[in-house]
Structure 1
């Protein structure tokens, strides 16, 4: 939910900028300020049927002009099972609370969330139960053109509950992709010594782990679906993600883990309203969504607003891998701006001044050395005569865009 509110904030800012440009009426600077701000506790709490350290996120609403939400720190958080068993949570990092012991929600039992803030305010949720588990049938990729006419890769999900009891679904995903350094060169240029009148430069081996890297993202929107109007409790071809063909995520090899939550009708209603709010197209719409009421209240003040929902969901997940050439080989692909950068000595510069510029360029960590005519593979490498050629760091070192260690789940 924290990610959702960040998305809302930046979406609003972009809308304001767009309106100003379109109307050509923003002659004076326009400062966005929040009026009638309310400091409201925000709770993101989903307990699942997975045996793990469950996690609950607490934060505060933030003003339109602020950078983001503040974490709610120092709270006492508990999940109570059947009014008798308590699972306590500890704050693992600001605003993130993890259960001390691993546990899983079980069918036929009632669960209740209890929170006491560092200021002594108490909050409690309705009692909720675990819906039945329904497994994802399949996750699959397809080359598609989206509603904006952009070609790329769509990720789709099919699921089916023959009992007809699931009906309400929510989807999240984690995506990981491989990055190949486009202008790899096996040596880096360094300053080996510094004298009164000049620098001396040399080459050192560039780490091999800068050739191939991996980066990951998590979904930051709300994708829900329900089957209540269908004859069967079946979802077919629901798009959970779309990646344009020219996006770096599908430049080489891509993986996505899709998580399917079966949730209650009440939880579905909450997320449906939240989704509509976050996808509002106009800041100045005449229809305002108002406050989103969840199932958590303040025990100290019944009129206090609390934003969030305590949800108990059953989860199914599935991962797939996709090679770009299997689906998008005929489409334009991602390309970094990798123009060669040459530092040229000014005729009026002393040599030491020029060398200092090269040294500062190297120390900036924004570039990587790349001779204007690097040798072909297998060709002997000689120390270049011209030292001042570079490319942007990401073009010669993939750790500018990701990490060099492959995730444990990665399969080539």
Structure 2
């Protein structure tokens, strides 16, 4: 499944806009195709190797999006500095670490291998406003109990005003039916063998989807109190330990208006079916040697980050944790039909276990060779998450 974040939204909008409409609803096939360069470029005040993503517009029926390769990419500033970028794993990464600083104008330049050239308008760094806090607390939303994660931010100079947010959440997953032995069928006959502890504890991760924008322009103060994430108290991702890493970008008015238009267009579905299609969404990038089309935005913005952790027990002391990602009720097979039934006194011998229906051995009744089963993720967390502990993780 594709991750429809900011970049994916932009690619889909461009793909929808650049083909002619059809009289029939299906299949959606491009009748006329225009080559549009799609750009995502955030230059921030973080001292790091900055990144730029370049992608070719895709036909609507295409499954994958192809990167624009072989381009010359660099950023210049009005102090005479030039920062070159090189290709690295489908994106362009600056050769050296650098950061945007106040009172300096920056321009992005792109020269493609087929001779097209583009440049952004000069952009300056926005107000540097750190987040005050990221707090998780019990909250109710739409009559659902859960955990609300809120961001607080305040700019006493009232010059920030326009904000964009992203997050990445990480959570600990412990297989509830993990056992020190497992069933190995790789050699033909089922054999009980020692199980690896690497399948007991895992870590899942998800990134935010879409655009989260806040505008304090109509408020008395440039103060943010924003619910960035709400998690149902029955969601398994908070069963053990949960962490969220939040990024706050302070945007210029022009950048905010660009993202806001992009967001409204995507949410409305107007890119395909609405008669009010806005056409190609233009940002602050233009062709410098012709009329080649380009979409995207060169965003020079300050960023503030914060990570928090909490355990389920911290917020819900003494309460039974949420159900696991899958149903982990033990079951076994009737000897006559091999149909899965709830576990009572039903048992089966390993030697007679039918091929093709094995999920995961839960390990009850080993001495009498009784075999009980659960769905594989219940005993092996690597089926739904990674067993590689993140370098940032703190227990």
Q: TM-score, normalised by structure 2?
A: 0.83
- Separation in 1, partners of 2:61, 2:352: 42
Task: Work out whether residues 153 and 328 of structure 1, in 8 Å CA contact, stay in contact via their aligned partners in 2.
Answer: no
Change (3 A) 1:214 1:232: same
Post-superposition offset of 1:225: 1.4
Question: Which residue of structure 1 lines up, in the alignment, with residue 295 of structure 2?
Answer: 307
- Separation in 1, partners of 2:191, 2:167: 46
- Asked whether 1:224 is paired with 2:213, we answer yes
- Separation in 1, partners of 2:385, 2:214: 33
Question: Which residue of structure 1 lines up, in the alignment, with residue 154 of structure 2?
Answer: 160
The 3-state SS of whatever aligns with 2:258 is helix
- Separation in 1, partners of 2:264, 2:124: 26
Question: Which residue of structure 2 lines up, in the alignment, with residue 265 of structure 1?
Answer: 253
Change (3 A) 1:192 1:280: closer
- Select the residue among 238, 256, 275 that pairs with 2:244: 256
Change (3 A) 1:10 1:294: closer
- Asked whether 1:369 is paired with 2:364, we answer no
- Asked whether 1:62 is paired with 2:45, we answer no
- Asked whether 1:135 is paired with 2:130, we answer yes
Change (3 A) 1:104 1:161: same
Unpaired runs of 5+ in structure 2? 14-23, 338-349
Change (3 A) 1:29 1:79: closer
- Select the residue among 178, 181, 190 that pairs with 1:187: 181
Change (3 A) 1:5 1:260: closer
- Separation in 2, partners of 1:344, 1:78: 67
- Separation in 2, partners of 1:48, 1:41: 22
- Separation in 2, partners of 1:368, 1:252: 23
- Separation in 1, partners of 2:12, 2:320: 30
RMSD: 3.0
- Asked whether 1:3 is paired with 2:5, we answer yes
Change (3 A) 1:248 1:58: farther
Question: Which residue of structure 1 lines up, in the alignment, with residue 45 of structure 2?
Answer: 49
Show CA shifts across 1:65-122 (max 9, x none): 332422222221111122621111111112x111111111111211111111222211
- Separation in 1, partners of 2:51, 2:355: 47
- Asked whether 1:400 is paired with 2:383, we answer yes
Question: Which residue of structure 1 lines up, in the alignment, with residue 111 of structure 2?
Answer: 116
- Separation in 2, partners of 1:159, 1:218: 22
Residues matched between the structures, number = 369
The 3-state SS of whatever aligns with 2:262 is helix
Change (3 A) 1:101 1:243: same
Change (3 A) 1:202 1:265: same
Show CA shifts across 1:160-189 (max 9, x none): 111222222111111111111121111011
- Separation in 1, partners of 2:202, 2:336: 38
- Separation in 2, partners of 1:192, 1:313: 54
Task: Work out whether residues 312 and 321 of structure 2, in 8 Å CA contact, stay in contact via their aligned partners in 1.
Answer: no
- Select the residue among 272, 276, 288 that pairs with 1:287: 276
- Separation in 1, partners of 2:11, 2:97: 35
Change (3 A) 1:345 1:144: same
Task: Work out whether residues 11 and 57 of structure 2, in 8 Å CA contact, stay in contact via their aligned partners in 1.
Answer: no
Unpaired runs of 5+ in structure 1? 12-27, 348-353, 375-381
- Separation in 2, partners of 1:325, 1:9: 42
